[in-house]
Amino acid sequence: MNVQTADILLQIATVLYFSSMAGYAGFLFNRKKAYQKTALYLISSAVLLHFISMAVYTLSTRYFPIQNLSQSLSVSAFALGFMFLFVQYKSDLKILGVFASALLSVIMGVALMIPEAPVEKNEIFKGFWFYSHILLIFTGEAALALGCGTGILYLLQEKGIKTKTPGFFFKRLPSLDFLDDVGYTCLTTGFALLTIGLVTGFIYAKAVWGRFWSWDIKELASVGTWLIYAALLHLRFYSGWRGRKSAIMTIIGFFIIIFTFIGVNLLIGGHHDTFTK
Partner 1 sequence: MPDIILIGLNHKTAPVELREKLSLTSEETLLALDFLKKDQDIKEGLVISTCNRTEVLFIPESNHQTGNDQTEKIIEFIAGHKKMNSSEFKSALYIHKGDDAVRHLFRVASSLDSMMIGEPQILGQIKQAYRIAVENGGSGVLLNRLMHKSFSIAKKVRRETGIGDNAVSISYAAIELANKIFTDLSEKRVLLLGAGEMAELAVEHLLSNNVKEIVVANRTFKNAVALAEKFNGQAVTFEEREDALIHVDIIISSTGATDYVLTHDQVRRVMKKRHHRTLFFIDIAVPRDIDPKINSISNAYVYDIDDLKNIVESNIEQREKETVKAERLIDEAVLKFQKWLESLAVVPTIKALNDKITSIVEMECKKTLSGMKHLTKEDMEAIQRMTQAIASRTIHDPIRFLRNTGCHRDDSLYLNVTRQLFNLGGSDEE
What SS3 class is residue 212? coil
116: exposed, middle or buried (C-beta count within 10 Å: 0-12, 13-18, 19+)? Answer: middle
What is the spatial distance between Cα 219 and Cα 148, in angstroms, rounded to a whole number?
A: 23
CB 141 within 8 A of CB 190: yes
CA atoms in the 13 A half-sphere facing the CB of 13: 28
Q: What is the DSSP string of 50-91?
A: HHHHHHHHHHHHSS-S-SSHHHHHHHHHHHHHHHHHHHHHHH
Q: Residue 178 Cβ, how far from partner 1 at the closest point, in Å?
A: 4
Position 184 contacts partner 1 (CB under 8 A)? no
Identify which range of 4-12, 14-22, 206-214, 243-251 contacts partner 1 by CB under 8 A: 243-251
> What's at 18, amino acid-wise?
F
Q: Of these, 121, 123, 171, 210, which contacts partner 1 (CB under 8 A)?
A: 171
Q: Quickly list DSSP for 108-175.
A: HHHHHHSPPPPPPP-TTS-SHHHHHHHHHHHHHHHHHHHHHHHHHHHHHHHHHHHTT---HHHHHS--
Q: Is 93 helix (H, G, I), strand (E, B) or coil?
A: coil
Does 273 bind partner 1 (CB under 8 A)? Our answer is no
**Binding piece for partner 1, criterion CB under 8 A, among 70-78, 124-132, 174-182, 219-227:** 174-182
* 33, 24 Cβ separation under 8 angstroms: no
- 257 contributes a contact to partner 1 by CB under 8 A: no
Determine which residue in the list 178, 202, 226, 259 makes contact with partner 1, applying CB under 8 A: 178
29 contributes a contact to partner 1 by CB under 8 A: no
For partner 1, give the closer residue by CB, 155 or 257: 155
Q: Residue 243 interacts with partner 1 (CB under 8 A)?
A: yes
**Where does residue 44 rank: exposed (0-12), middle (13-18), buried (19+ CB within 10 A)?**
middle
Q: Is residue 242 within the footprint of partner 1 (CB under 8 A)?
A: yes
Q: Which stretch binds partner 1 (CB under 8 A): 21-29, 63-71, 138-146, 160-168?
A: 160-168
Of 7, 48, 106, 181, which one interacts with partner 1 (CB under 8 A)? 181
Verify binding: residue 121, partner 1, rule CB under 8 A: no
If binding is defined by CB under 8 A, does position 268 make contact with partner 1? no
* Residue 156 binds partner 1 (CB under 8 A): no
Q: Please, which residue, 224 or 240, has the CB nearer to partner 1? A: 240
Smaller CB separation from partner 1, 154 or 191: 154
Sign for the CA dihedral angle at 233, 236, 241, 247 comes to positive
Give min distance, CB of 252 to partner 1, in A: 16
Q: Does 63 bind partner 1 (CB under 8 A)?
A: no
Q: Residues in the site for partner 1, rule: CB under 8 A? A: 157, 161-162, 164, 166, 170-171, 173-178, 181, 240-245
